[in-house]
Structure 1
Amino acid sequence: MSEENPTPEKPMLRVVRGTPDDAELAALTTVLAAAGASNPAGEAKQRRSRWADRAALLRKPLHPGPGAWRASGMPR
């Protein structure tokens, strides 16, 4: 048998001002649920290692001029 909770639970959302309709409350609930699910339990985002970074494969543009040949082979 299930026991009833003698103390009422606090509502998750509370409207402070205005009278939103059902569609507006559903949209707000959806946005808040998605925001909470994107980073569960406050976990930090995992950073991608420099070895796996595909942007490192892109070459920086070469600029013609004095010393350009030297700068083309040196990292910036």
Structure 2
Amino acid sequence: MSERPFLQVIKGDATPEEVAALIAVVSARATAPAAAPARRGSVWTDRSRLVRGPVQAGPGAWRASALPR
């Protein structure tokens, strides 16, 4: 296994303090817990089901208005 540096300054002249700050940020980001996936609620508790749909005019519309969506 070759001993190569993990980070390398390609352009410019970074001070030891700047390199230390960069390593601190990268290591903090690497150890941060992953965000929990968005939890989807049950279809029964979905409030968007309460929103009324558009009114459809035409033959049989009164019968279709009483049927579940």
Q: TM-score range by the shorter chain?
A: 0.3 to 0.5
| Superposition TM-score, scaled by structure 1 size | 0.42
User: Which of 1 and 2 has greater Rg?
Assistant: 2
User: What's the TM-score, normalizing by structure 2?
Assistant: 0.45
The structure with higher relative contact order (CA 8 Å, sep 6+) is 2
